[in-house]
């Protein structure tokens, strides 16, 4: 085995063992009481800024101030001298606590509804490694899966408390089955293109219907005006003649004792001569008329695709092999879609094209495989993120689909550290799982950095997050302490 691979394996096993050795103490979710100050720590803001011997002041659910002048603040004070504070880590591609169902004919299913908020062991694993927020895709094999969601890791939390965002991201997969051959993968890509083509036809059908409906209403209005201007037949109640023996108006009757003569109804007006009727055996000309157009049937699946075509939805496609990545990119180019690629560790051959199109790429951070594995996982390499970043690609780090029974979200910090070992800049790696991750998910106003006004999602580390042996000691979400490692004093003055 080459020396580099052996070194990477040793680092992986040692670091993983130190991280998983931490005993975990889950805490009940309680309302934050008054002000809280985390004092005298090294603060890694998340955007590359570092504050030495700084403090973070928390009031309620939000960060009230960040700096080095909060010693006199009222409320609880926790000394973090010698510790590091970071924003809560964000896994932008996770299947943590996700109950994956079978393939559905409906694409408006929400990943938020499939998230098991009572899966405390899985959530505790993630919190123990500093992860406070995850993006969960709607995943169900090749094709369109549904709507992804951004979720906070609060065990047992109410949906309105834990779901930060559950609209705006449509999820799809290409080449998910490692047993698929080239023909099957091409067929899957063709089917995905066909869906968007059919959505365009669906839109055109409704546009045609609207035009036909306007024309119909216009003709209907013209017909109504024409009917109002046509002369009406004489009222049959009018009397035009009187019976014989009647006298002229104003003349006295011959015999005043006799009753006045009864008027009689006028004779019906004879129809005017019109066009001759068609001879027997020939079809009579039809009267000019028009028919109301029929509205096309609504299709919720196609409506979702139209929102992606209009740029209202992001299309996230999981694709690993270079060919599958290229198929996803060509789909986005053809239909002008806002594309995010998941798992594209095999994207290095087309990195230049991805950089030109500014397509975000999420690279899996699970520990590298120690033996050859067929299928898309064989592209997973420690230096994948660094190679793409050097090519100018917008790179992010995510745990990806669960390998076995447990989610890889618990490896997020470890995977970032390994990416640094593979050549990725350490500050860039931290941004990829904090500030940049929040921007990618559209929740940067709420989480992702240690900044005033943001939600107090904070992690206290024993050392720099990427240092060997670094452990998570405390985790706060929205100002509440949701995790404290065993052996760490409750603290507070």
105: domain CATH number? 3.20.20.140
CA distances from 224 to 68, 214, 289, 412 (A): 79, 15, 13, 71
278 within domain boundaries: no
List the one residue out of 418, 364, 426 whose CA is nearest residue 7.
Answer: 418
Whether residue 65 is found in the same domain as residue 151: no
Instruction: Give the number of other CB atoms < 10 A from CB of residue 244.
Output: 7
Nearest CA-CA partner of 309 in 211, 198, 208: 198
Tell me if 268 is assigned to some domain: no
Determine the pLDDT at residue 41: 95
* 229 occurs within a structural domain: no
Total domains in the chain come to: 2
**Residue written as token pair 């995905």:** 192
pLDDT tens sequence for the chain (493 residues): 444 444 444 444 444 444 444 444 444 444 455 789 999 999 999 999 999 999 999 999 999 999 876 554 668 899 999 999 999 999 999 989 887 655 567 888 888 988 999 999 999 999 999 999 999 998 777 789 899 999 999 988 898 889 999 988 999 998 766 667 778 888 889 999 999 999 999 999 999 999 999 988 888 888 777 766 665 555 444 444 444 444 444 445 555 555 555 555 555 555 444 444 545 554 444 445 678 889 999 999 999 999 999 999 999 999 988 889 999 999 999 999 999 999 887 888 889 999 999 999 999 886 655 555 555 566 678 888 999 999 999 999 999 887 666 788 988 999 999 999 999 999 999 999 999 999 999 999 999 999 999 999 999 999 999 999 999 999 999 999 999 999 888 765 5
Could you tell me if 238 and 266 are in contact, meaning their C-beta atoms sit under 8 angstroms apart?
A: yes
Boundary of a domain, candidates 426, 445, 464: 445
Which token pair is 208? 């045609």
- Domain end residue (candidates: 425, 445, 465): 445
* Residues 306 and 164 placed together within one structural domain of the fold: yes
Regarding whether 109 and 171 lie in a shared domain, the answer is yes
Predicted confidence at residue 263, as pLDDT, reads 54
Q: Are residues 5 and 93 in the same domain?
A: no
What does the pLDDT read at residue 284? Answer: 43
Element holding 130 (H helix, E strand):
none
Is-contact 296 205, C-beta < 8 A?
Answer: yes
How many residues are present in the chain?
493
DSSP string, 312-336: SSEEEEE--SHHHHHHHHHHHHHHT
Distance CA 292, CA 313 (A): 34
Query: Do 319 and 367 sit in the same domain of this protein?
Result: yes
* Residue 426: burial class (beta carbons within 10 Å; 0-12, 13-18, 19+): middle
Are 41 and 134 contained in the same domain? no
Please report, for residues 9, 366, 427, the alpha-carbon distance to residue 421 in angstroms, rounded to integers and kept in the order given.
12, 14, 13
Please check whether residue 490 lies inside any domain of the structure. Answer: yes
**84-87 vs 35-44, strand pairing mode:** parallel
Q: Are residues 310 and 409 in the same domain?
A: yes
Which structural domain range is residue 171 located in? 89-196+298-445
The answer to the question of residue 233 being in a domain is no
Residue 321 CA to residue 377 CA, distance in Å, equals 9
Is residue 264 situated within a structural domain?
no
State how far the alpha carbon of 472 is from the alpha carbons of 89, 95, 164, 448, 462, in Å.
11, 22, 24, 17, 6
Same domain, 309 and 404: yes
Q: Where are the alpha helices (DSSP H) in 165-254?
A: 182-229
> 32, 482 in Cβ contact below 8 A?
no
Q: Which CATH number characterizes residue 24's domain?
A: 2.30.40.10
Those residues whose C-beta lies under 8 Å from the C-beta of residue 343, and which sit 6 or more positions away, are 93, 318, 319, 320, 362, 363, 364, 376, 400, 401
Residues whose CB falls within 8 Å of the CB of residue 222, separated by 6 or more in sequence, listed in order: none
**What is the token pair recorded at 241?**
């003649």
Q: Residue 126 is encoded by which pair of tokens?
A: 């993630």
Given strand 149-152, what is the order of strands in its sheet?
89-91, 131-136, 149-152, 163-165
pLDDT at position 260:
56
DSSP conformation class of 349: G
Shared domain for 23 and 96, answered yes or no, is no
The model carries a pTM of 0.79
Tell whether 110 is covered by a domain. Answer: yes
Are the C-beta atoms of 63 and 450 separated by less than 8 Å? yes
Rounded CA gap, 265 and 141, in Å? 83
C-alpha to C-alpha distance for 126 and 114, rounded to whole angstroms: 18
The Cα–Cα gap between 131 and 404 comes to 20
Closest CA to 309 of 414, 403, 161, 203: 203
Considering 423, 445, 467, which residue would you say is the last residue of a domain? 445
Please check whether residue 485 is in contact with residue 473, taking contact to mean a CB–CB distance below 8 angstroms: yes
Spatial contact of 50 and 427, defined as CB atoms under 8 Å apart: no
Structure tokens given for 228: 């109002």
Number of Cβ atoms within 10 Å of the Cβ of 314: 19
Asked if 463 and 335 sit in the same domain, the reply is no
Q: Say whether both 411 and 472 belong to one domain.
A: no
Residue 269 lies in a domain: no
In this structure, the answer to whether residues 64 and 119 fall within a common structural domain is: no
What is the C-alpha separation between 392 and 44, in angstroms, rounded?
Answer: 24
């Amino acid at each position: 085995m080459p020396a580099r691979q052996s070194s990477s394996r040793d680092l992986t096993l040692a670091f993983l063992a130190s991280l998983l050795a931490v005993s975990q103490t889950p805490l009940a979710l309680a309302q934050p009481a008054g002000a809280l100050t985390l004092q005298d720590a090294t603060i890694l803001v998340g955007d590359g800024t570092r504050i030495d011997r700084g403090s973070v002041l928390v009031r309620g659910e939000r960060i009230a101030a960040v700096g080095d002048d909060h010693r006199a603040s009222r409320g609880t004070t926790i000394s973090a001298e010698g510790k590091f504070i970071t924003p809560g880590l964000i896994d932008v591609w996770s299947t943590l606590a996700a109950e994956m169902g079978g393939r559905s004919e409906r694409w408006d299913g929400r990943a938020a509804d499939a998230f098991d908020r009572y899966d405390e062991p899985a959530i505790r694993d993630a919190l123990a490694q500093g992860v406070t927020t995850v993006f969960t895709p709607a995943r169900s094999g090749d094709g369109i899966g549904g709507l992804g969601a951004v979720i906070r890791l609060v065990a047992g939390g109410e949906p309105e408390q834990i779901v930060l965002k559950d609209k705006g991201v449509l999820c799809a997969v290409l080449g998910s089955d490692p047993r698929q051959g080239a023909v099957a993968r091409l067929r899957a890509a063709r089917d995905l293109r066909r869906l968007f083509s059919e959505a365009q036809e669906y839109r055109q059908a409704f546009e045609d219907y609207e035009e036909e409906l306007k024309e119909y209403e216009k003709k209907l209005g013209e017909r109504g005006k024409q009917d109002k201007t046509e002369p009406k037949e004489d009222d049959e109640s009018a009397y035009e003649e009187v019976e014989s023996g009647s006298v002229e108006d104003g003349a006295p009757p011959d015999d005043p004792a006799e009753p006045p003569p009864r008027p009689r109804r006028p004779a019906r007006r004879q129809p005017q001569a019109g066009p001759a009727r068609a001879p027997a055996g020939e079809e009579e000309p039809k009267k000019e008329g028009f028919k109301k157009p029929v509205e096309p049937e609504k299709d919720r699946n196609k409506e979702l695709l139209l929102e992606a075509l209009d740029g209202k939805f992001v299309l996230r496609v999981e694709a690993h092999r270079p060919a599958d990545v290229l198929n996803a990119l060509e789909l986005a180019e053809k239909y002008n879609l806002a594309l995010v690629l998941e798992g594209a560790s095999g994207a290095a051959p087309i990195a230049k094209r991805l950089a030109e199109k500014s397509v975000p790429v999420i690279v899996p951070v699970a520990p590298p495989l120690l033996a050859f594995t067929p299928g898309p996982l064989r592209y997973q390499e420690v230096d994948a993120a660094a190679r793409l970043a050097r090519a100018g690609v917008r790179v992010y780090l995510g745990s990806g689909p669960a390998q076995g029974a447990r989610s890889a979200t618990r490896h997020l910090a470890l995977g970032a550290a390994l990416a640094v070992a593979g050549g990725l800049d350490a500050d860039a790696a931290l941004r990829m799982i904090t500030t940049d991750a929040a921007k990618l998910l559209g929740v940067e106003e709420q989480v992702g950095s240690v900044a005033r006004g943001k939600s107090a999602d904070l992690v206290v580390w024993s050392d720099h997050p990427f240092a060997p042996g670094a452990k998570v000691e405390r985790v706060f979400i929205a100002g509440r302490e949701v995790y404290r490692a065993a052996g760490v004093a409750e603290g507070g003055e």
